[in-house]
Chain A
């Protein structure tokens, strides 16, 4: 199925990325040709194949319930562009 400009808008909103009209058009075109290429997988029968989520096959990796070191507040906030009394300051929700 073809990806429309409206689809691109929806995806961009889900991905939290602003796109202008020209970018939306361009991406729609590119996405269609890329997804067209991926279509070749449809021809491969994988009905009885298990997906590989983890390639090495490890299981049951844990850590003990021990307290380690936390970052001091200045280090944790070192890269925060907007702060307020130790809090990270962000844009309003609504």
Chain B
């Protein structure tokens, strides 16, 4: 059998035998067809024949797109998201749609209607979320790269828990057209891969202005992030935000992150402590904004034009209320209602508007820091992957896990998470955060760090 076709077959085999439950839909035939095309020479491009997985909140033409939810079961979109179109243009062999927390609301992928995804490093533990399927698939060799979405850490968290690389780009760098929205002022599609080079390549392909997305910018047009895969830390100043360390952070995580900073220091980078004083308010601000936006973004799911439509029709309000009750999981219902509450008469100023003002302060914290330093280094997650089921009954404790990731989304700045050590047998990630459109700097930092360390590992036999 020809080279690429055989390789894709191997990958599909692995997916089918997998215990990870990383995929909701497998698009084997399409992938094989593309691989054949590459072997024939008919299909070319920067991703020619490479296996890529796509998170199931990203619209794919003629392929079911569920957002991990029962309410979208059976929904087959008539169009591709812009990022998917760009993947196809570059010859990617898309192997399937990955599992996720329902509507991207979560940190563990446990809220998916299609069952939880397991962490390849320990099948009793969560892979992180909400792009847990993408993270696990990459770590479990079920694809070479994957697309996730990061609203409050949903690419970086699974990257950290699964020991892979994940990038949350600057807001506006990557088109959101076709990305089913959870919180539209916060989210970006982000690449996930086993190394910085592949992640940078994928970022090259998906980034750049899209006229169909009014919030997309042209800063990446013509940019090649792969040009910044340069092993050089000299002249870099690393800021260490003190608010991301200390109480609540696992000691092993702190140690691993500090080791990373020291390593870069040895390689020629300076480092100093900085302060982002409003960090402690970020979690509240994030959740208020995200829930408010979600309550509106999910209002279109009423069973009328697509998705779940069960039972007898009574009047519209009763019918839609029943369908939504049946189709949405607990966490989604919780966030829709809290968001509805926070936007309603009398509460708008107290919650939503207030959160947006806090957002300004957090954004300013970063701007101030970047006047003195090039990149920030901090833990991606305050602890390694916890056990399945551990936090499901306490939503607030689940939300707290996002404490290190959400400030980045509020500010709109880019961040890359790379493996930097282990807590026992579980991977730990460090995130390098940059200013607006400073992907080149953080990629260079991550690449230099990766080349000089040995944390790029695979989770054993699969």
Measured between beta carbons, the chain B residues less than 8 angstroms from A14 are: 340, 344
CB pair B325–A56 under 8 Å, yes or no, is: no
Q: Determine the distance from Cα of A91 to Cα of B211 in the docked complex, in whole angstroms.
A: 37
Chain B min CB distance to A16 (Å): 5
CB pair A38–B78 under 8 Å, yes or no, is: no
Q: Determine the distance from Cα of A2 to Cα of B235 in the docked complex, in whole angstroms.
A: 54
Q: Is A81 an interface residue (CB 8 A)?
A: yes
Q: Determine the distance from Cα of A92 to Cα of B172 in the docked complex, in whole angstroms.
A: 41
Q: Is B259 an interface residue (CB 8 A)?
A: no
Q: Evaluate whether A17 and B412 lie within 8 angstroms (CB atoms) in the complex, with A27-B334, A51-B359, A52-B356 already known.
A: no
Please choose the segment from B22-30, B125-133, B281-289 that sits at the chain A interface, where 4 or more of its residues have CB less than 8 A away: B281-289
CB pair B341–A31 under 8 Å, yes or no, is: yes
Q: Determine the distance from Cα of A36 to Cα of B353 in the docked complex, in whole angstroms.
A: 17
Within 8 A of A (CB), among B402-429: 410-412
Q: Is B452 an interface residue (CB 8 A)?
A: no
CB pair B325–A18 under 8 Å, yes or no, is: yes
CB pair B307–A92 under 8 Å, yes or no, is: no
CB pair A38–B316 under 8 Å, yes or no, is: no
Q: Evaluate whether A38 and B284 lie within 8 angstroms (CB atoms) in the complex, with A56-B215, A79-B76 already known.
A: yes
Q: Is A22 an interface residue (CB 8 A)?
A: no
Q: Which residue of A lies closest to B291 (CB)?
A: A34
Measured between beta carbons, the chain A residues less than 8 angstroms from B315 are: 91-94
Q: Evaluate whether A44 and B359 lie within 8 angstroms (CB atoms) in the complex, with A38-B288, A58-B215 already known.
A: no
Measured between beta carbons, the chain B residues less than 8 angstroms from A51 are: 353, 356-357, 359-360
Please choose the segment from B51-59, B116-124, B156-164, B298-306 that sits at the chain A interface, where 4 or more of its residues have CB less than 8 A away: B298-306
CB pair B337–A8 under 8 Å, yes or no, is: yes
Within 8 A of A (CB), among B127-166: none
Q: Which residue of A lies closest to B339 (CB)?
A: A15
Within 8 A of B (CB), among A25-67: 27, 30-31, 33-35, 37-38, 40-41, 44, 46, 49-56, 58, 61, 63
Q: Evaluate whether A78 and B76 lie within 8 angstroms (CB atoms) in the complex, with A40-B284, A46-B357 already known.
A: yes
Q: Determine the distance from Cα of A45 to Cα of B214 in the docked complex, in whole angstroms.
A: 32
Chain B min CB distance to A49 (Å): 4
Q: Determine the distance from Cα of A33 to Cα of B340 in the docked complex, in whole angstroms.
A: 17
Chain A min CB distance to B49 (Å): 30
Q: B321: which of A17, A34, A58, A82 is its contact (CB, 8 Å)?
A: A17
CB pair B363–A55 under 8 Å, yes or no, is: yes
Q: Is B33 an interface residue (CB 8 A)?
A: no
CB pair A52–B360 under 8 Å, yes or no, is: yes
Q: Determine the distance from Cα of A88 to Cα of B410 in the docked complex, in whole angstroms.
A: 39
CB pair B295–A93 under 8 Å, yes or no, is: no
Chain B min CB distance to A58 (Å): 7
Chain A min CB distance to B330 (Å): 9
CB pair B217–A18 under 8 Å, yes or no, is: no
Q: Is A71 an interface residue (CB 8 A)?
A: yes
Chain B min CB distance to A88 (Å): 6
Q: Determine the distance from Cα of A39 to Cα of B122 in the docked complex, in whole angstroms.
A: 37
Q: Determine the distance from Cα of A55 to Cα of B356 in the docked complex, in whole angstroms.
A: 10
Q: B307: which of A17, A41, A79, A82 is its contact (CB, 8 Å)?
A: A79
Q: Determine the distance from Cα of A19 to Cα of B328 in the docked complex, in whole angstroms.
A: 12
CB pair A56–B217 under 8 Å, yes or no, is: yes
Q: Is B371 an interface residue (CB 8 A)?
A: no
CB pair A91–B359 under 8 Å, yes or no, is: no
Chain A min CB distance to B221 (Å): 15
Q: Which residue of B lies closest to A78 (CB)?
A: B78
Measured between beta carbons, the chain A residues less than 8 angstroms from B411 are: 55
CB pair B309–A82 under 8 Å, yes or no, is: yes
Q: Determine the distance from Cα of A37 to Cα of B286 in the docked complex, in whole angstroms.
A: 12
Q: Determine the distance from Cα of A79 to Cα of B63 in the docked complex, in whole angstroms.
A: 12
Q: Determine the distance from Cα of A3 to Cα of B358 in the docked complex, in whole angstroms.
A: 24
CB pair B396–A52 under 8 Å, yes or no, is: no
Measured between beta carbons, the chain A residues less than 8 angstroms from B74 are: 79
Q: Determine the distance from Cα of A71 to Cα of B305 in the docked complex, in whole angstroms.
A: 14
Measured between beta carbons, the chain A residues less than 8 angstroms from B358 are: 41, 44, 46
Q: What are 16 A-B contacts with C-beta separation under 8 Å?
A: A8-B337, A15-B324, A15-B336, A16-B321, A27-B337, A34-B287, A38-B287, A41-B288, A55-B171, A56-B171, A56-B436, A80-B305, A81-B306, A82-B313, A88-B305, A90-B316
- Please report B residues at the A interface, Cβ cutoff 8 Å: 74-76, 78, 170-172, 185, 211, 214-215, 217, 278, 280-281, 284-285, 287-288, 295, 299, 302-307, 309, 313-322, 324-325, 328, 333-334, 336-338, 340-341, 344, 351, 353-361, 363, 395-396, 399, 410-412, 436
- Please report A residues at the B interface, Cβ cutoff 8 Å: 3, 7-8, 11-19, 27, 30-31, 33-35, 37-38, 40-41, 44, 46, 49-56, 58, 61, 63, 71, 75-76, 78-82, 88, 90-94
A46-B354, A91-B315 given; 19 more Cβ-contact pairs under 8 Å = A15-B324, A17-B328, A19-B325, A31-B338, A34-B287, A34-B395, A34-B399, A44-B358, A46-B358, A49-B360, A49-B361, A51-B359, A52-B360, A54-B215, A56-B171, A75-B78, A79-B75, A82-B313, A88-B305
